Amino acid sequence: MQNKVDVAVMIGSGVPETLRALGQRACWVVLLNGEQRGTAFASRDEAEECRTAWQALLRMEQSDSLH
């Protein structure tokens, strides 16, 4: 099965209260097959780093399952 890892933006009331309290009006989340994984990020760059880590982990798991 091919997993899909995306970054999505959340705006307004979708932003967790902890980030809204800091003045954030938008945040980014990592989605694995359409489901949020982990926390919300204050910057897209942070979310992209997490996305890259998820992709690497999934590649390793796929490689292990082939052996």
Q: Phi and psi for 27 in degrees, rounded to 5?
A: -150, 170
Identify the domain containing residue 45 by its residue range.
5-66
Statement: residue 64 has pLDDT above 70: yes
The secondary structure of residue 42, as a DSSP letter, is S
Give me the number of domains the chain comprises. Answer: 1
The DSSP H or E segment spanning 58 is helix 44-66
**Mean of pLDDT over the chain:** 94
Task: Kindly state the average pLDDT of the residues 53-57.
Answer: 96
Whole-model pTM? 0.86
**Terminal CA-CA length for the chain:** 16
Exposure of 42 in the CB half-sphere (CA atoms within 13 A): 8
Q: Tens digit of pLDDT for each residue in 15-42?
A: 999 999 999 999 999 999 999 999 999 9
